[in-house]
Amino acid sequence: MTSIGRDHATKRRRLPEERPQQILDAAFEVFGDHGLAGARLDDIAKCAGIGKGTIYLYFPNKEALFKEMIRQTVIAHLERSERDLDGDRTATATAQLRDYMRELWTLTRSPAYQVVMRLVIAELHRFPELVEFYLQEVVSRKQQLLDRLIRRGIAGGEFRSIDPRVAGRMMASMFAMHALWASTGRCWPMLAAESDEELFEQLTDFFFHAVAPTGTSAARSGVDPEPLVTAKRRRS
């Protein structure tokens, strides 16, 4: 038996309750290779080592698979962030926002998110139902969370008076695009010399300086400049 045959045999032996995740893992791989429009359920079934009919027991079509991919990545991240925000009412808005950024950066640098992000950017416009789903379950929900945090920071004097929607959009787009650029090193070779931690510190440093009250230093606004200084020393 070939290695592929052994792999498929192993997949078939998995327990029934593991089937949905097995199918999703295959969908991530096939969507990543062929795109949302180009992927076929036959390909996903073959990758998962199951019959095509088994997929229909859990997912009626590719769109349902994509929605579950979004739920397991971006929506799961948002749910954790919402629980953290509601669970800790003593932390400053700056501290909570930085914690959110840390989790967001970890998410956006994950291989699963990279697949999702490429599909969202390149193909989602071809699927109106998925566009509406993504707008409601991800974009709107993320905006509400960031709006709460940034408004609280403004009210507490941690951030300057700025439109929370604009600040949240700028922050989210910076993280998403830098993660995408970092994953395509051949297009952005200048990022290859930067570690994930260094990129994270650059992004947070830039954002918190952008929203800091006029005349407030990085230290006073809750941003620690030391990681940036240390990173620069290591490269010099």
Question: Alpha-carbon distance 138 to 135, whole Å?
Answer: 6
Q: How far is CA 13 from CA 53, 131, 176, in A?
A: 16, 36, 38
CATH number where 7 lies:
1.10.10.60
* Residue closest to 39 by CA, chosen among 65, 21, 58: 65
In this structure, are 52 and 145 located in the same domain? no
Query: Are 121 and 207 within one domain?
Result: yes
Rounded to two decimals, the pTM is 0.79
d(CA 221, CA 81): 22
My answer on whether 88 and 43 are in the same domain is: no
Do 206 and 225 sit in the same domain of this protein?
A: yes
- Verify that 149 and 49 share a domain, yes or no: no
Whether 12 and 49 have beta carbons less than 8 Å apart is answered as yes
Token pair 């036959």 is found at 42
Q: Are 203 and 209 in contact (CB under 8 A)?
A: no
Q: Which of 77, 73, 115 is nearest to 99 (CA)?
A: 77
Q: Is the pLDDT higher at 66 or at 5?
A: 66
Tell me which residue has tokens 């709006």: 147
* CATH code assigned at 223: 1.10.357.10
Lowest mean pLDDT among 85-94, 123-132, 135-144, 162-171: 85-94
The Cα–Cα gap between 91 and 24 comes to 37
Last residue of a domain, one of 15, 36, 56: 56
The average pLDDT across 32-42 equals 93
Residue 75 shares a structural domain with residue 42: no
In b/e form, how buried is each residue of 63-95, taking b as 16+ CB within 10 angstroms? eebbbbbbeebbbebbeebeeebeeeeeeebbe
Are 183 and 220 in contact, with CB atoms under 8 Å apart?
A: no
Q: From residue 150, how far is each of 46, 92, 136, 147 by CA, in Å? A: 47, 11, 20, 5
pLDDT digits (tens, 9 = 90+) for 142-174: 999 999 999 999 999 999 999 999 999 999 999
Q: How far apart are CA 209 and CA 221, in angstroms?
A: 8
Enclosing domain of residue 10: 3-56
- Number of domain units in the chain: 2
| One domain for residues 16 and 48 | yes
